[in-house]
Amino acid sequence: LPLPPAPSSRTEVAFDGSAYARVRELVAGLCARAGMSAHRTEDAVLVAHELATNCVQHGTGSGVMRLWSTGSALVVEARAAGRFHDPLVGRRRPASVGERGRGLWLVNRLCDLVQLRNTPDGTVVRAHLRLP
């Protein structure tokens, strides 16, 4: 099933491997405006960073981050070229050895809901973090 469209009031930023700091700043600002605690803001910033890193490393080196608040949740959405083939990607605990494979697992651990979709243009990951 396709995801519902993102609201027109979203914040949107294109990124590549040199723009991680910009993505983190945007998320931190949105969290502050939404009244998130410092601890939960750190979670949201880490989620956005991991999603952006995944797009750069497993996609074509760039992506688009969309951010918005639903009133009850902060939504962090990453879009990039490339597709995932494992429907449970990020849902299984990664092996304790190796340097890769922890990003989406961590996102799933920190968020209240994570939605992944393959689309004709690539992959969309939408992460929801409940607001206070």
pLDDT in tens, 24-37: 999 999 999 999 99
Q: Give the per-residue pLDDT at 98.
A: 59
pLDDT over 90, % of the chain: 75
Q: Which long-range contacts (CB under 8 A, 24 or more apart) does 23-27 make?
A: 23/48, 23/49, 23/52, 23/65, 24/48, 24/49, 26/65, 26/67, 27/67, 27/76
Q: Give the per-residue pLDDT at 96.
A: 66
For the chain, give the mean pLDDT: 90
Rg, C-alpha atoms of the chain: 14
pLDDT in tens, 62-108: 999 999 999 899 999 999 998 877 776 766 776 666 566 678 999 99
pLDDT at residue 7 is higher than 70: yes
H/E element, 124:
strand 122-130
Least confident of 39-48, 54-63, 91-100, 122-131: 91-100
pTM above 0.95? no
